[in-house]
């Protein structure tokens, strides 16, 4: 488990991350269709979560 960030979170970065997360959820939150649609939705939601964690200073290193 990673330690909480020691510095304050920039509210502008957090606001942008939340906005991106909301947009990605709106675009990929509901999937109807084929396997490609599920893969695209999964990738979009993973990316939104990564951006949000980065804004919070809690993103883990690649492969962890």
CA distances from 53 to 13, 32, 41, 46, 59 (A): 11, 27, 18, 11, 5
The pTM assigned to this predicted structure is 0.54
> Domain residue spans in the chain?
11-55
* pLDDT at site 44: 80
* pLDDT at site 21: 77
**What are the percentages of helix, strand and coil residues in the chain, rounded to 5?**
60, 0, 40
pLDDT for 14-54, tens place per residue? 888 788 778 877 877 777 777 888 888 888 888 878 888 88
**Span 53-62, average pLDDT:** 75
């Amino acid at each position: 488990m990673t330690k909480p960030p020691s510095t304050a979170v920039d509210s502008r970065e957090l606001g942008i991350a939340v906005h991106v997360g909301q947009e990605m959820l709106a675009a990929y939150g509901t999937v109807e269709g084929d396997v490609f649609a599920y893969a695209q939705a999964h990738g979009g939601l993973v990316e939104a979560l990564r951006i949000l964690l980065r804004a919070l200073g809690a993103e883990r290193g690649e492969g962890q």
